[in-house]
Structure 1
Amino acid sequence: MTDIATEETNRLIASNKVEGTNVYNREGEKLGSIYNFMVDKRSGKAEYAVLQFGGLFGLGSDYYPLPWDMLTYETEHGGYVVNLDKALLEKAPRYGADAEPAFDRTYGQSVYGHYGMNYPF
């Protein structure tokens, strides 16, 4: 009997290892970390990575949905890299811990539109 990889393979990574992974911009500046990610129930495609950003030690931080396709995993950073700066991120759609959005089509269009992308769902 062989062991089944539950954490990471050459191509795949378990969801529990994605959560908490750091996110950097192209300049190497840490923007935050992945709080969770949202997956379409029917297609199985990851739609958003929810970035936890701001606050101190996770307290008072907000959650910023990023279109999943914006993220690139880079081993030299040991995390995800996105092509955006803090100024754009600070103006992005976000929510607090007690006010999760509906994640419906209208919300998706506003998130994707903020980053200059078409909402594909």
Structure 2
Amino acid sequence: MEHKTLKFKKELADMILRGEKYTTWRLFDDKNITAGDVCDLLLYETKEVFSVGKVLAVRETTFAELSSEDWDGHEKFDSEETMYTTYTNYYKQPVGPHTPLKIIKLGIQPLT
């Protein structure tokens, strides 16, 4: 079975490898990520695999409805404006409180 892939910027990949990040938020999910999927985790900059993650849980919500559990294992932002700007830049589409997103919880497996 071919692994799905998730790309992360270098600073986020480093957080994953340190065990600080195990949650990712994805917008416009064209890969149909679901619980049980195994994903190769790639460095955005080089497309190199740095780890493997098993999708433990997926929840769909909007930015306005994010719960404290959705933030567990996810990087923090200085403000909501910074958060929306970050995701607008990632996806090259406007992002705001009512934008839908998928909360993906990962079990990180080191490369062997």
Whether TM-score is above 0.5 comes out as: no
**TM-score band (shorter)?**
under 0.3
Greater length-normalized contact order (CA 8 Å, ≥ 6 residues apart): 2
Give TM-score, length-normalised by structure 1.
0.26
Greater C-alpha radius of gyration: 1
